[in-house]
């Protein structure tokens, strides 16, 4: 005897990348601010690209990243009758459901208990680091963290990356704001607090813990405190510290991701999906006030890196017509015609981006389309990044010379 169970989508996580999806050329209205935020699409343009079903079959984030639930997430999903389903643009979670109206479903298992699901991101394609704008931020921030508690909604998009209310226009790409320290031990230097007693509190959306330390008789003040969160599940926690009068010690406040051992050492980052029944229903919520499934979509965009493109020749080339707005290149140092460079930084893209090399002779202009650099041909010089293309024995002077020597008719 067999039985059929109904599963419905609980939520979707979409991971998009500008390297594969950005337009080949700039168009009016596509970009936030080409000067202060170059190569950053507006939220509306991102939404148009994401809604285009024709993009999905030709795009797969799985060629660059592996995505896997942790063991604890797998256990939680099993207890709540959930399924993990890989999609080209990320993954979706499905939950066993009961139909209670036309196109209306509620979970088979009650949704009154809070839970958290953690998904580990691991790099599959080493070039991902090269063509992705992976800001490092402060030295101790080594871990990418994304969550449906980001409270970062713009337009019709629920972003997984962090933002700040004062950022305008919105921070609609992964950035240094999304990096946190990932630790598995915690020793705190408290000597500057000049106190004999400290109480620490680690608080997360689902779990919390507290410790109290007192100086030994005769020592006077505490110097270091070692916190051992044994049994505390992995997660993002805010640590606060309080002195003998329970006044907070602001200098000791910090936020970090505590790794209880279920996050693999080669993790590039994680996505955490929370269900907190006490929260007011909103665009990020799984259920409405009556417990019906809402199937929200959570979105993350990786920004493709921009570099100056340098073209290296074995022989001198005709000088580009830099006054021509259509010409994208110039002589690098003003005199060496064996080295051309783009007038501005250009984004690395999987699709061909037209780079025009224009030569003028009187009323006649020739235009050549130059190749795009390979994504791994990046060379830092100071604080500037260059992508190099070796043109070898190509000599455009001969090509243009033949053209210019012929009669030209308009």
The chain-wide mean pLDDT, for the chain, equals: 88
Quick one: pLDDT band at residue 136, thresholds 50, 70, 90? low
pTM of the full structure: 0.89
Q: Which residue has the tokens 């419905």?
A: 8
Terminal-to-terminal C-alpha distance of the chain: 83
Quick one: pLDDT band at residue 1, thresholds 50, 70, 90? very low
Buried b (16+ CB within 10 A) or exposed e, 39-50: bbbbbebbbebb
What integer pLDDT is reported at residue 177 of this predicted model? 87
Tens-place pLDDT, residues 18-53: 999 998 887 778 888 877 788 899 999 999 999 988
Beta bridge partners of 152: 159
Percentage of the chain modeled with pLDDT above 70? 93
CA distances from 198 to 101, 186, 232, 392 (A): 55, 15, 20, 67
Q: Say if residues 409 and 368 touch (Cβ distance below 8 Å).
A: no
Helix, strand, coil percentages (3-state) for the chain, rounded to 5, are 15, 40, 45
Q: Say if residues 106 and 292 touch (Cβ distance below 8 Å).
A: yes
Name residues whose C-beta falls within 8 Å of residue 308's C-beta, 6 or more positions apart in sequence: 341, 342, 344, 345, 346, 384, 385, 386, 387
Tens-place pLDDT, residues 212-270: 999 887 778 999 999 988 889 999 999 999 999 999 999 999 999 999 989 998 899 99
- pLDDT at residue 349 tops 90: yes
The full DSSP string for 23-65 is -SS--TTSEEETTTEEEEE-HHHHHHHHH-GGGGGG--GGGTE
Q: What is the mean pLDDT of residues 298-308?
A: 95
- pLDDT at residue 3 tops 70: no
Quick one: pLDDT band at residue 156, thresholds 50, 70, 90? very high
Looking at 40-54, 112-126, 174-188, 386-400, which range is the least confident one? 386-400
In 52-193, DSSP assigns E strands to: 65-69, 82-87, 90-101, 104-107, 115-123, 143-147, 152-154, 157-159, 179-183, 186-189
Would you state the structure tokens that stand for residue 25, as one six-digit string? 């050329």
Quick one: pLDDT band at residue 101, thresholds 50, 70, 90? confident
In 139-264, DSSP assigns E strands to: 143-147, 152-154, 157-159, 179-183, 186-189, 197-203, 208-214, 224-227, 235-242, 254-258
What integer pLDDT is reported at residue 409 of this predicted model? 40
Tens-place pLDDT, residues 401-410: 655 555 444 3
């Amino acid at each position: 005897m067999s039985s059929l169970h109904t599963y419905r989508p609980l939520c979707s996580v979409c991971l998009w990348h500008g390297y594969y999806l950005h337009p080949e050329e700039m168009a009016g209205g596509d970009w936030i601010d080409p000067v202060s935020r170059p190569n950053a699409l507006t939220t509306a343009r991102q939404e148009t690209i994401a809604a285009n079903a024709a993009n999905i079959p030709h795009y797969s984030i799985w060629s660059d990243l592996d995505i896997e639930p942790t063991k604890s997430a797998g256990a939680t999903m099993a207890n709540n009758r959930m399924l993990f389903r890989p999609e080209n643009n990320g993954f979706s979670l499905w939950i066993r459901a009961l139909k209670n109206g036309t196109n209306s479903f509620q979970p088979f298992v009650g949704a009154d208990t809070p839970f958290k699901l953690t998904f580990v991101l691991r790099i599959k394609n080493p070039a991902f680091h090269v063509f992705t704008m992976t800001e490092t931020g402060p030295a101790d921030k080594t871990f990418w963290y994304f969550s449906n508690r980001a409270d970062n909604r713009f337009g019709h998009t629920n972003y997984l990356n962090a933002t700040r209310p004062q950022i305008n226009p919105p921070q609609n790409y992964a950035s240094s704001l999304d990096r946190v320290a990932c630790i598995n031990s915690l020793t705190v230097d408290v000597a500057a607090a000049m106190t004999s007693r400290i109480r620490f509190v680690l608080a997360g959306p689902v779990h919390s813990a507290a410790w109290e330390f007192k100086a030994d008789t005769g020592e006077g003040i505490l110097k270091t405190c070692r916190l051992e969160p044994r049994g505390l599940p992995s997660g993002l926690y805010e640590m606060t510290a309080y002195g003998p009068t329970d006044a907070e010690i602001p200098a000791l406040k910090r936020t970090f991701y505590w790794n209880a051992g279920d996050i693999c050492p080669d993790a590039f980052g994680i996505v955490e999906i929370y269900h907190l029944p006490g929260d007011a229903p909103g665009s990020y919520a799984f259920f409405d006030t009556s417990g019906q499934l809402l199937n929200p979509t959570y979105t993350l965009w990786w920004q493709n890196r921009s570099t100056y493109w340098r073209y290296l020749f074995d022989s001198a080339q005709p000088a580009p017509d830099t006054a021509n707005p259509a010409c994208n290149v110039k002589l690098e140092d003003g005199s060496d015609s064996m080295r051309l460079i783009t007038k501005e930084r250009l984004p690395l893209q999987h699709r061909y981006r037209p780079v025009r090399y224009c030569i003028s002779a009187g009323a006649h202009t020739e235009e050549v389309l130059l190749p795009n650099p390979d994504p791994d041909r990046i060379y830092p010089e100071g604080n500037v990044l260059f992508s190099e293309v070796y043109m070898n024995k190509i000599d455009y002077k001969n090509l243009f010379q033949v053209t210019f020597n012929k009669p030209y008719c308009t």
